[in-house]
Structure 1
Amino acid sequence: MSRSVVCPRNAKSTVLRIIHRALLAMIGSLVVLPTSRAQDNAALASDSDFEQRILRVVNGLRPATSGRPMTLVDRMNELHVPGVSIAIIHAGAIRARGFGHASIGGPPVLPETLFQAASISKPVTAVAALALAQAGKLNLDGDVNLSLKNWKLPANSFSAQSMVTLRRLLNHSAGVTVRRFPGYAADTPIPSLRNILNGEPPANTAPIVVHHEPGAQFEYSSGGYTIVQQMLIDVSGKPFQNLLEEVVLKPLGMTHSSFLQPLPKNDAQIAATPYQATGAPVPGGPHTYPELAAAGLWTTPTDLAHFALGVLDAWTGRDTSLLSQATALQMLTPGFGDYGLGFVVRGRSPHQRFLHEGDNAGFLSSMILFENGDGAVVMTNGANGGQLASEIMHSIALEYDWPDGRP
C-alpha cells in the first residue's frame, strides 16, 4: 500500500500545510487547484504521467545480485525494510509517495511520516552557518575559538600548524575527531553538548579534538559539525533548534521538520519506527541524537526536497532570500575530493549535482538534486535501507533520464 502527495515548489507555507494534510490512495495525488481549465488539464496530465512513472520505478529495481528487475515490495521484504518514503522532483513539482508501514503491523507510511535524516542534517546546518557568515556574524576563515564562547577547542601541536576554521569544519578538512555518533537508546542518560565535546560521561564518544593538521586532507567528521553546533548557539544566543527553525526550516516551508531530540509526543505519533538489519525493531525505538547539527533532524522527503530546491534557487540566482548566489557557489564548490560546504558535489555543468546520505540507528536516507532541477529524496526505516535507497535512486535515474543513468 502507498500514499502520495504533490507539492508545487513555490507554494506558500500556509498552502503547504494544507497540502501536507491531504492524502490520497495508491494512484491518487494532490495538486494546488489551478486557476484555469487549461491548467487543470495540464495538472491532470502531469499527475497521470507521475503515476505511470512511479509504478515503473517501483516495479523495476535492479539489485546487484539479480539480473532481473524486482519490485519494491519484494526488495523491502528481502532487506527487512518495513517502510519507504520517496519524493521525486521534476518539472517544477515535488511528488511524494509512501510505501509499506511506519511500524510492522502499524500505520502505513504517508508523505508526512517523520524519519530521522541522520547526516543529511549536516547540509541543513551548513546553510544556517553560511547564512550567519553572510550576515557578518561568523567568519568562514577565522579561528573558530574566536566565535566559541562557552567552550573552546583545545589547542595542540596540530592546531598550532594551521587554524581550525568554519570552512574546514563544514568541508571535513579541519582534522578533528569523531567520525559518527551512535545516538542514545531509550532510557539512556542524554549528555549535554559540553559533555559530548569533551567526551565526558554520559557521552558515548571520545573527546572532539584536532588530531591532524587542519586543511591538509579530507576526513569526515561528525565531531566537526558538533563544534559548528556550539558556534551557532554562542553567536546567535539561541537554542540550536530555534535558530534552525528561524533561518532555514520556516523560510523554506519545511513544516514537518524539527531538530527537537527526542521528539515531542504528538510528533512521535507520526514518526517511523526504526528496524535493525535482522528485521527486529531497534530496542526502545528511535535513538536520541543530541548532536543536532550532525545527526538530529527529523523530517520528510517532501521537506528535504523543498530544502534542496531552496539551495538550488540560491545557486542559480533565481531566489537569493536563503543565501546569496555567491555564498551558494561557495557551498557547492568541492574542496578536498568532492565535498563542498555541507554537500557532496559531483559532475560538471550542465550535469552537476549535489547530494548527501544519512545513517542513524535504523534510519537510512539519500537525497540528490541536479542543476536542472531534477532529483529525489528516499527515506527508510530499516538498517538495510541504504542498499534499497540506492536501488530506488538508480531506478528513478533511469526513468527520468538523469545524466549517466545514475545518481
Structure 2
Amino acid sequence: MCVMLRRTFFQMFVFLAVATSISVHFAPRPSLSAAEPKRRVGSGAAQRAPIGPTNLASNTNSTEFDQEIDAHFAEKKLPGLVVLMARDGLLTYRRVKGHADVAGNVPMTEHKIGRLNSVSKLVGSVVLVRLEEQGKINLKSKASTYIDGLPAHHNYRVLDLLTCRSGVRHYGEPTSSDSPTGWSENDFATAADVLPNFWLDPLASPSGSYHYSSFGYTISDACAEEVSGKSFRNLVKDLVATPAGASTLRVEDLEDNNLNRVKFYTVENGQNVEVSPPKKEWTPSGGGMQSSPLDLLKFGIALMDGKVISKANVDRMMTRLDSNDSYAIGCSTAIENGYQVMAKDGSAEGSNAYIWMVPERRMVMVVMANRDGAGVDSLGKSLRRIALGTNKASGQEPDLVVEKFVRTSAPRYKNGYLEIPVSFGVKNQGKAGASSSFLNSVKVEGVDRWTAFMEALPREDSKSVSAVVKVSDPNKLLAGRTLTLQAYADAPIAGGDTSIPSYARINEVSENNNTATLEVKVPGGLDLKTAPRPDTDASKSRPTRVPNRIGPANRKPVK
C-alpha cells in the first residue's frame, strides 16, 4: 500500500510539474506599458510614450475590430477576407470571413494562398538589403555596375530602384518603338532575361525624383541575381521565407495547381465574378509573389525582430529619402500617435493585400482579400487607428507658435523643380507639452509642398526646422513670379500624409498663431513692370502670359 501511495504521489507531482511548464511556456509576453520609456522617432533619446492602449489583445479592441471588419465586408460584398494581428510575436487577433472558393463553397482560412501584388516590393527590398548585409552588393552603386548592356539612360542607383526614384516607367507609360509587345505573358528563366523587353523605353521622370514603378523592381531583381548567382525565386526562399518560417511566401507560379490557393474575383454588374489573374512572374518584386495571410504575418514578425535583416536596417527601410515623399525602401512610412509605421499595399485584378508594422511596439497586421477593389488598405488603416489609440491622441493643449520664417538661400532650379531653401522656428508657449510627434508643413500658394514631423516639444521649449521646398516646374513657368509660402505647425494632417486621420491632431489652445507667411521672388522671367507696352512698340513681341496659379504637386498616392 505504501508503495502504491508513493507511486501515486509521484505521478501527481510529475503531472503538476509538466502542466506548470506548459503554462509558463505559452504565457503571452507582457504588453508594453504606456509608462515604459520609449525612444523618440528618428533618434535614440527617450521620451514619454503617447496616449494609447496598453493591451492590444483586449476585448475592447477585439470588439471594435469586429465591428469595423463586419461593416467593411458587408459594404464591399467581398467573397473572402482575412485579418490577422500579432503583438510581441503572438497572434492576438484573427478574423476570417467568406469563401476562398464561392462556387465550391470552400471557406476562407488564414492558410489559403493569395497574391501579394505590390506587397512583393517590401519582400523584394528586404532581399536586396540582406544581400548588402552579406557584402554582395552596394545599394548606392549604379545599377549598370551589375547589369551588362543596360542602356546609358538608366543612370540611377540600385537604391533608387527600391525607393521608386529611378524614373523607370510603370504600366501604361510611353515605350520605345524598338521595344517588343506582348512579352509579359512569356516565361523567363531569370529577371535579367526580362530587361531587354523594356530597357529601351524612355525614363518616365528624372532619376532622383519619386515615380512609382513595378518595372524598376525587375531591374533590382536582376542585380540581386547577378551578385548572388541564384535565381530570385531561390533568394526569396533562402533569405526571407526560411528565416521567417513562412513556407508559402515565394515567387508565384500560376501553373502550379497543387497549392492551397484561393480563387480570384472581380466585380461585374455588382456581382463577384471569378477571373484569371494577370501573370506577374516577370517582375517578382514588382508584384509577382504569393503567400498565405499567416505566413505574411510571420514575415512581418521576423522582420521587426531582426531575424531577416538587422533592426538597424529595418529603421533604415523606414527612413524617407525625401520629406516630400512618404515612400521609403519598399514601403510607405508615417508617424501615427507618436509611433513610426511602415506599410505596403498591393492590388491587381482578382486580389488585394495590405500589411502594416510598428516595430517599436512589435505589432504587425495583415489584411488580405481575394478580390480587387477590396479596400483592404483603408480597412487596415482603420484598424491601426484603433490599435494605436489614434482617436485618443488629442487632449494635449500646447499653443504652437511659428516664428522666424525666412529664406536661407536663393531659390534655384534643379532637375525640373524649383527649390526654395527655408527655415522656421516652432515654440510651445502653452500650458502643456506636446508629448506626441506633430506635423510641420510648408504650403506654396495654398498647396502643401513640404511636410515633416517634429518630435515631442516640452512646455516653453522651441526648435528650428530647415527645409527645401520643391515645386515641379520643368518649363520654368514660375520664373519671375513672387510666391507666397506659409509655414504650419500642426497643420491639417491630411495635407501631409493620407495614412493619418485628421482627428489625430494635438488639441491646441489657439490656432491663430501656428502659421507664418513668407514671400519669395523666383529668379528669371519677364519683368512685367518694366517691359514696354506692346502697343507702344509694335516691333517688340508681347510678353508671355504667366499662369496665375501653381498646378498640383508632382506627388503620388501612398502605396
TM-score, reference length from structure 2: 0.54
The alignment status of 1:311 with 2:303, answered yes or no, reads: yes
Partner Cα separation in structure 2 for residue 294 and residue 143 of structure 1: 19
Written as runs of structure 1 = structure 2, the 5 A alignment for 1:72-111 is 72=71, 75-94=72-91, 95-105=93-103, 106-111=105-110
Number of the residue aligned with 2:548: none
Number of the residue aligned with 2:541: none
One of 58, 61, 66 as aligned partner of 2:66: 58
What letter is aligned with 1:365?
Answer: A
Partner Cα separation in structure 1 for residue 353 and residue 252 of structure 2: 19
The alignment status of 1:214 with 2:200, answered yes or no, reads: no
- Alpha-carbon contact 1:148-1:235 (below 8 Å) kept: no
Deviations 1:5-29 (A, max 9, x none): xxxxxxxxxxxxxxxxxxxxxxxxx
- Alpha-carbon contact 1:241-1:258 (below 8 Å) kept: yes
Q: Deviation of residue 212 (structure 1)?
A: 3.0
Partner Cα separation in structure 2 for residue 207 and residue 404 of structure 1: 52
Deviations 1:335-386 (A, max 9, x none): 1312211111111795111000001211111111112122311000112212
Task: State the secondary structure of the residue aligned to 1:130.
Answer: helix
Number of the residue aligned with 1:317: none
Cα 1:51–1:381 shift into 2, 3 Å: farther
Q: Deviation of residue 86 (structure 1)?
A: 1.1
One of 347, 363, 367 as aligned partner of 1:374: 363
One of 321, 328, 331 as aligned partner of 1:335: 321
- Alpha-carbon contact 1:366-1:389 (below 8 Å) kept: yes
With 335-344 and 351-360 compared, the bigger mean Cα shift is at 335-344
Partner Cα separation in structure 1 for residue 26 and residue 132 of structure 2: 43
Number of the residue aligned with 1:112: 111
Cα 1:138–1:174 shift into 2, 3 Å: same
TM-score, reference length from structure 1: 0.72
Partner Cα separation in structure 1 for residue 313 and residue 385 of structure 2: 29
Partner Cα separation in structure 2 for residue 125 and residue 41 of structure 1: 34
Number of the residue aligned with 1:21: none
- Alpha-carbon contact 2:80-2:99 (below 8 Å) kept: yes
One of 267, 273, 276 as aligned partner of 2:266: 276
Partner Cα separation in structure 2 for residue 232 and residue 166 of structure 1: 10
Q: Deviation of residue 77 (structure 1)?
A: 4.4
Partner Cα separation in structure 1 for residue 380 and residue 342 of structure 2: 17
Deviations 1:282-316 (A, max 9, x none): 43x333211111111111222222222222223xx
Q: Deviation of residue 81 (structure 1)?
A: 1.5
Cα 1:231–1:39 shift into 2, 3 Å: closer
Q: Deviation of residue 392 (structure 1)?
A: 5.0
Number of the residue aligned with 1:197: 195
Deviations 1:142-166 (A, max 9, x none): 11111124xx33113xx5xxx4111
The alignment status of 1:383 with 2:372, answered yes or no, reads: yes
What letter is aligned with 1:146?
Answer: T
Provide the aligned C-alpha RMSD in A.
Answer: 3.1
Q: Which has the higher helix share?
A: 1
Written as runs of structure 1 = structure 2, the 5 A alignment for 1:155-166 is 155-156=152-153, 159=154, 163-166=155-158
- Alpha-carbon contact 2:89-2:301 (below 8 Å) kept: no
Number of the residue aligned with 2:400: none
Compare relative contact order (CA 8 Å, sep 6+) and give the higher one, 1 or 2. Answer: 1
Q: Deviation of residue 280 (structure 1)?
A: 3.7
Q: Deviation of residue 52 (structure 1)?
A: 7.0
Task: State the secondary structure of the residue aligned to 1:265.
Answer: coil
For structure 1, list consecutive stretches of 5 or more residues without a partner in the other structure.
1-32, 62-70, 182-187, 201-205, 315-320
